[in-house]
Amino acid sequence: MVQLVDSDIKTREVLGWKGVHVLHFAGSSCSQKLRIFLNLKGIGWESRPVDLHGNENFQPWFLGINPRGLVPVLVHDGAVHIESNDIIEYLEKTFPSPKLIPAGHENEVSALLRHEDDLHLDLRTLSFRFVFNRPGPPKPAAALASYAANGTGTVQGAKDRDKDIQIAFWQRATEEGFPDDRVRASAQKFRVAFEALDKRLAGKPYLMGDALSVLDIAWFIYAHRLSLGGYPLARLHPRVHAWKERLGARPEFAQEIAMPVDVKARLKATRREHAAAGKSLEMVAGF
């Protein structure tokens, strides 16, 4: 559980926020995951949007809440929680019904969620190359300078190494973009992970068996995002594809991944351009 301590937090006003507040961004995968969880739980929450496209997460106000500079963030009765999977596990304990982590499987689910989180920078690499595909550097120099300079830089009282990893990721992306060899390495990790999921889904409707769990939510988001980027899910992992389609038809999921018409059209054009240049995800990955 990553609940921040008092000395981590500079934006003191949040300490007075009562109830459930979520700082999030519509198109962020981790935010989508948390919002689907909240929908399924029926937990009422106050929305505090953070504009990632405008780099609001690198502004002093937001870094004063989450020194790591990432969404989502949960503020529950003035307590600040970061890291989407930790937030979900905290909420599962606090709002136990309906159950989304099967009893007796807490440690197994926790380990499987950690594996999902370990692939987050790989998801980001593939997303920036094949889904967002915006011109210019992924993060402007001024935004990164603000990121480095603001916030306490501590999580639970200790210097936050994760922030250094984030900054290094963006600096490298600014210098070299998201080159083919990194795409191949990231895509391969997902191929291995999806093969394991495909096996789990043999004869079972959900990843943990007969009941929907947080694991389905977390992996649904990855499968959805990668499909948008052109990952050939139906061809390589048919059971995962069918499971994703089934989940995506449920309103609690569908409303969180709905895309504005212009964004959809832009993505379609990007996919066409990449394919024409021989640079679609499956071509670069060698799938």
Ligand X SMILES: N[C@@H](CCC(=O)N[C@@H](CS)C(=O)NCC(=O)O)C(=O)O
Residues that bind ligand X (CB under 6 A): 28-30, 52, 57, 70-71, 83-85, 117, 120
| d(C-alpha 6, C-alpha 177), whole Å | 37
The answer to whether 56 and 62 are in contact (CB under 8 A) is yes
Nearer to ligand X, 69 or 230 (CB): 69
Q: How far is the CB of 279 from ligand X (least distance, A)?
A: 23
Q: How far is the CB of 28 from ligand X (least distance, A)?
A: 4
DSSP alpha helices (H): ranges in 24-160?
29-41, 60-63, 84-94, 106-118, 120-127, 141-149
In this structure, are strands 46-49 and 20-24 parallel, antiparallel, or unpaired?
A: parallel
Nearer to ligand X, 71 or 183 (CB): 71
Nearer to ligand X, 18 or 115 (CB): 115
Nearer to ligand X, 67 or 280 (CB): 67
The answer to whether 66 and 82 are in contact (CB under 8 A) is yes
Q: How far is the CB of 114 from ligand X (least distance, A)?
A: 10
Question: What phi, psi does 113 have (nearest 5°)?
Answer: -70, -35
Nearer to ligand X, 28 or 227 (CB): 28
Q: What's the DSSP call for residue 56?
A: G
| d(C-alpha 283, C-alpha 184), whole Å | 10
Q: How far is the CB of 262 from ligand X (least distance, A)?
A: 20
Nearer to ligand X, 201 or 226 (CB): 226
Q: How far apart are the first and last CA of the chain?
A: 37
Q: How far is the CB of 87 from ligand X (least distance, A)?
A: 7
In this structure, are strands 154-155 and 79-82 parallel, antiparallel, or unpaired?
A: unpaired
Nearer to ligand X, 82 or 201 (CB): 82
Nearest-5° angle of CA 250, CA 84, CA 201? 45
| d(C-alpha 117, C-alpha 218), whole Å | 9
Q: How far is the CB of 30 from ligand X (least distance, A)?
A: 4
